């Protein structure tokens, strides 16, 4: 997959996170899992700027490039 993404100057990063890193924070409700907050530490793993975080349940019907300008 990354060889295909290299053509558009992109890559997939596999970052391992520990639940222990987030145990210190209290969650606002019981139905929200601590993994929900992983997106807040993306800047620790990705140095490029800008970065556009897209969740797995999103569908886009238009070009996203204007968001990065």
46: left (phi over 0), alpha (psi -120 to 50) or beta: beta
Name the average pLDDT for the chain: 82
Instruction: Give the percent of the chain with pLDDT over 70.
Output: 100
Q: Domain for residue 49, yes or no? A: yes
Confidence bin at 39 (pLDDT 50/70/90): confident
Check pLDDT > 90 for residue 61. Answer: yes
Domain that holds residue 49: 16-55
How many angstroms separate the CA atoms of 63 and 65, rounded? 6
Closest CA to 19 of 38, 42, 45, 41: 38
Tell me the mean pLDDT in the region 17-41: 78
Residue 42 forms part of a structural domain: yes
Domains: count for the chain: 1
């Amino acid at each position: 997959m990354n060889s295909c993404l290299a053509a558009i100057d992109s890559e997939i990063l596999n970052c391992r996170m520990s639940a222990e890193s987030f145990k210190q924070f209290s969650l606002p409700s019981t139905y929200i899992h601590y993994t929900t907050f992983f997106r807040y530490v993306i800047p620790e793993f990705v140095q490029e700027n800008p970065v556009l975080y897209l969740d797995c349940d999103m569908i886009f019907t238009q070009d996203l490039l204007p968001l990065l300008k």
